[in-house]
Amino acid sequence: MKAFELSFLQVLREGLTWLGWTLPEAALEAMARYAWIVREWNERLNLTAIVEPEAMAARHFVDSLSALQAFREPGWPPDPADWPPRRLADVGTGAGFPGLVLKLAWPALELALIEATGKKARFLETVVRSLGLEHVTILARRAEEVGQDPAHRERYDGAIARAVADLPVLLEYLLPLVRVGGVAVAMKGAEVEEEIAAARRAMDLFGGRLRDRCELVWPPYLSPRTLLVFEKIAPTPAKYPRRPGIPEKRPLR
């Protein structure tokens, strides 16, 4: 663990310098513990192809933290009290990225981790218990069901996802969860033009508007990233999201 932790923390610190942030030492140590748990469970659960400490720090942890840049553009948030959002949903979180990393950075966050695969959800429960985290809800359900559940529909200040689906599909997962005035953040790679063009109809249908795009480059650790920030400007019509599997099968383009 020690050698792993040292290499992990070195790159994590470099990443924080790149982002221009400092975090308490205890948060960094908790991230190292979390990375180690992912690595330990990985053989059984196949959670990630990235297991080297430096790559884990960069591509899972710093990349997750970089999502917050979406909220640091000039003019956003209009009121600093809006960020961090009190309630955030991470859709298709897998082993907990980006949601759990954001929670470790901002303990006040009320976080919902939505993950359809039961064994991954059970892994997340283990991590949350081991790290002693409070106000984290793990939902072993599909985003389409959660988005139709009155306990979750339009109840979040923010919803976020990384590596889950193409934009028209992703917006059907994210926007129904977000209250009017809140934001949906899609973490994407460099090539986003076609996806944005294909998602125009979905944005209109689900009540979203592309508010911001934030390009991030951190060579040599990360390939170029784009954060797409959608503001929820109108309630999502009741018929969305459609039944589980339908958004992916018949994306609204």
* Comparison of 11 and 38: residue with beta carbon closer to ligand SAM: 38
Sign of CA dihedral 136, 140, 142, 147: negative
Q: Is 171 in the site for ligand SAM (CB under 6 A)?
A: no
Q: Is 117 in the site for ligand SAM (CB under 6 A)?
A: yes
| Minimal distance, residue 215 CB to ligand SAM, in Å | 19
Query: Looking at 28-174, which runs of residues are DSSP E strands?
Result: 87-91, 110-114, 136-139, 156-162
Query: Looking at the chain, which runs of residues are DSSP E strands?
Result: 87-91, 110-114, 136-139, 156-162, 178-188, 208-218, 222-232
Q: Is 207 in the site for ligand SAM (CB under 6 A)?
A: no
Number of chain residues interacting with ligand SAM (CB under 6 A): 16
- At residue 139, what is the residue type? L
Collapsing DSSP to helix, strand or coil, 117 comes out as: coil
Q: Is 172 in the site for ligand SAM (CB under 6 A)?
A: no
| Minimal distance, residue 45 CB to ligand SAM, in Å | 10
Among 34, 83, 97, 230, binds ligand SAM (CB under 6 A): 97
Q: Which of 153, 126, 125, 129 is nearest to 139 (CA)?
A: 125
> Cα dihedral angle (45, 144, 158, 239), rounded to 10 degrees?
170
Q: Is 178 in the site for ligand SAM (CB under 6 A)?
A: no
Q: Is 46 in the site for ligand SAM (CB under 6 A)?
A: no
Q: Which of 185, 136, 190, 178 is nearest to 164 (CA)?
A: 185
Tokens of 163: 């590596």
Query: How far is it, in rounded angstroms, from Cα 181 to Cα 160?
Result: 15
Strand duo 208-218 + 222-232: pairing: antiparallel
Q: Is 149 in the site for ligand SAM (CB under 6 A)?
A: no
Q: Is 163 in the site for ligand SAM (CB under 6 A)?
A: yes
* Comparison of 65 and 143: residue with beta carbon closer to ligand SAM: 143
Q: Is 57 in the site for ligand SAM (CB under 6 A)?
A: no
* Comparison of 49 and 81: residue with beta carbon closer to ligand SAM: 49
Q: What is the DSSP letter of 81?
A: G
Among 45, 116, 133, 196, binds ligand SAM (CB under 6 A): 116
Q: Is 103 in the site for ligand SAM (CB under 6 A)?
A: no
| Minimal distance, residue 113 CB to ligand SAM, in Å | 10
Q: Which residues bind ligand SAM (CB under 6 A)?
A: 92-94, 97, 114-117, 120, 142-144, 162-164, 173
